[in-house]
Chains A and B, each alone.
Chain A
Amino acid sequence: MRPDPARPGAWFATQRDRFIPPNLRADADATRRARVLVAFSMVCIVLGCVFSVLALVNYGLPLVVLASALGALASALTPLVLLRTGSLQVATSTMLAVFAAAIVGPSFAAAGQSVLNLPWLTIIPLLATVLAGPRTGIAWGVVCVVLAEATLAISAAIPGQLVLPADTMRVAAASNIALLMVFITSFAVVYEMQRRRMMVALVFAQAELESVRGRAVATDRLASLGRMAAGVAHEINNPMTYVSSNVALLREDLARGPLEPALRREYVEDVLPATEEGIRRVASIVADLRRFARGDTRESVAIDVNHEVQAAVRMCEATLDQRRVSVRLGALPPMMARAGEITQATMNLVANALDATKDGGEVRVETEVSAQQIVLRVVDTGVGMTPEIAARALEPFFTTKPTGEGTGLGLPVVHGIVVAHGGSLRIESTPGAGTTCEVRLPLPTAPSLDAKIAS
């Protein structure tokens, strides 16, 4: 930062930042604390010098001069200690220790002159809390109260030292209690500030987590698309085969001249309807793919979970071979959800169930409403999981499939999607008997539905 003559603050900031040790610069919070410490030191050097001169010139009080000079010294030492040690704790403690000595020392040596300085001890725990955190603040608070009380007690006990009247002593004792109150209050304030800062950090961390989850969902979607590619190609290429063959034949026939009535009837009643049906099939597969690929939209919309389940099952159908999927859908109310993600979660569960199922086996997919929740159950009677594998099933990148076949993201992504929709995923598995995955999605009541959309 170059000093800017138009802004005196810029020069100050430049000087201040010269004392921030390199090891703290990476940490925004530590840098902020170090800046506070150095800035406070710089102010205190000036104030300490001014007070020393004032005390010397106006009042001729040597001990107050000593206290102010010590304060200035502590303030001058602090940035150097900070730069040298790279530790906020050490620098703060150095400063506060010299401060405490500067205030208490003269008071102890001549209670009559500066016992009323003792309330200034309040500033020490406050500073300690701001600079080094609540724990250091508490420790310094205790130290300062003990120091203040001890100073008063010792001053009163030494004959000839105490020249103050009893009234003044009561003021001093009361100011000690005020010291304690101020310390507690300031601690509470700083603690609250810290809590808020941590809340902000938490929100950022959650946003980060959400973006990581989003990336995992996207990766898994691509992997699923790759896995499905052969099946989807099969589903599209079959109708395309007779669509293109029929159309080519029709063109050849038309090129020869008007169609004979019998042939014309065959086209109109048989060939062309079949061709149209083929085109409709291709279009519906493409629509399913689009439904799946639109997972990149982040907004929740009102969906019927059954539609997403049906799309997911249709996309898995191409990979069935000799296995069956039976679907039993209960009537579901609409819910707010990211439709593509629900399709993806269902598809992952069905694909897993199919992978675990041998030829001739069956996978059951069921939906229903139970206890104000939408329940989606995918049941297979396949190989099942041992407790050890089941325990790791939600661990990202954990897979029992051969390299190149499983990404290890399937179930973690299902879990992530379900949790992001406020639901839960339960997996029950018995080795050799099969696995049941149960997704429960909450049906929001009307007001909380609005809140969810808003957030």
Chain B
Amino acid sequence: MALVLIVDDEVQVARSIERLLRRGGYEVRTAQSGAEALALLDGVDVLLTDLRMAGMSGLELVAEVNRRRPEVRCCVMSGDGGSAGLELAAAARLPTEPIIAARLGKPFANDELLAMLARVRDPQGSSAP
């Protein structure tokens, strides 16, 4: 069973995703900040983080997770409605470029999220979680 770590400073977002993923057969941890997430990294297969958070930003978190645990697949979600410019500018300030496996715009349909996780877990699309 895959372990997903959900990071969002909006507690209800994290909880609704948690409920959905548990139904979908995932193991789930939630964190409300980047710092909290870094403490919960053990055994995590997929990181799903919001981009815009107080404190450590989503991109900073992804870069740090890449450094500490390169095998973790990192997905980002954002409610900015496609402000790719801001995101690029933020990424340019990081020491290493964050490696992002997939991204998702908020709000998303439940199926979209599940399909994205399945794809990230298994790029060949051969097995269920």
Contacts and interface: CB of A to CB of B under 8 A. Distances in A.
A237 B57 CA distance: 18
B110 to A, nearest CB: 5
B80 A242 contact: no
Nearest to A322: B54
A241 B14 CA distance: 10
Interface stretch (B39-47, B68-76, B101-109, B119-127): B101-109
B95 interface: no
A356 to B, nearest CB: 18
Dominant secondary structure at the A interface = helix
A32 interface: no
Given A229-B81, A236-B79, A322 B106 contact: no
A241 B52 contact: no
A190 B43 CA distance: 95
B35 interface: no
A322 B107 contact: no
B16 A241 contact: yes
Interface residues of A, number: 25
Interface in B8-29: 10, 12-13, 15-17, 19-20, 23
Given A237-B106, A241-B106, A321 B16 contact: no
B33 to A, nearest CB: 12
A242 B81 CA distance: 16
Interface residues of B, number: 26
A296 interface: no
B79 A238 contact: yes
Contacts of B54: 321-322
Contact of A241 (B55, B80, B86, B107): B107
A247 B103 CA distance: 23
A233 B81 contact: yes
A240 B107 contact: yes
A442 interface: no
A242 B23 CA distance: 15
Nearest to A245: B16
Interface of B: 10, 12-13, 15-17, 19-20, 23, 52, 54-55, 57, 77-81, 83, 86, 105-110
Give the 8 A-B residue pairs with the shortest CB-CB distance, closest first: A237-B79, A242-B16, A233-B81, A240-B107, A237-B106, A241-B107, A234-B79, A245-B16
Interface of A: 229-231, 233-246, 248-249, 271, 274, 277-278, 321-322
Given A234-B80, A235-B79, A249-B19, 18 more contacts: A230-B81, A233-B80, A233-B81, A236-B79, A237-B106, A238-B13, A241-B13, A241-B106, A241-B107, A241-B108, A242-B10, A243-B107, A245-B17, A245-B20, A246-B16, A271-B16, A271-B19, A322-B55
16 contacts: A238-B106, A239-B10, A240-B79, A240-B106, A241-B79, A245-B20, A245-B107, A245-B110, A246-B19, A248-B109, A248-B110, A249-B23, A249-B110, A271-B19, A274-B16, A321-B54
